[in-house]
Structure 1
């Protein structure tokens, strides 16, 4: 495969993992009892966006390595052929 294929695959894996990581540790305004005027009560108080992006990147690398291992594994290639 070409390097652009690997970049595209990582991009898809990264976004998929992001949607898995996003809900962890989120507390809504209504749970803390402080709802800012004009906002949705379920809006997160502190979404920890930077930490989630870092965690997503690390997990996406792990998943990408597993995918690359699977693609290069002869046993798996024989199974799919």
Structure 2
């Protein structure tokens, strides 16, 4: 696997993991039974924890990338020309 392919696969895996994690733990003011600020979006989360979610997404993407790199190196899927 060349450098460009490795980086592209990692970025795709990171975004997939990040978007999967975005709704986890999100709770709006309406769901919490609190008053919301006039003019604020009703569905906006109170606390988004983006930094933590980005770190966890990085860990998940790294583990998945290692598996994909291994699968490519041993030709698990049989994509190399004969």
TM-score (normalizing by structure 1): 0.86
Matched with 1:67 is 68
Counterpart check, 1:24 vs 2:24: yes
Matched with 2:45 is 44
Could you tell me which runs of 5 or more consecutive residues in structure 2 were left unpaired when the two chains were aligned: none
Write the deviation string for residues 4-60 of structure 1: whole angstroms up to 9, x where unpaired. Answer: 211111111111111111111100110122211101111100000100000000110
More helix by share: 1
Could you tell me which runs of 5 or more consecutive residues in structure 1 were left unpaired when the two chains were aligned: none
Following TM superposition, the consecutive aligned residue runs of length 4 or more in structure 1 with deviations greater than 2 angstroms are none
Counterpart check, 1:34 vs 2:39: no
TM-score (normalizing by structure 2): 0.85
Shift of 1:66: 1.0
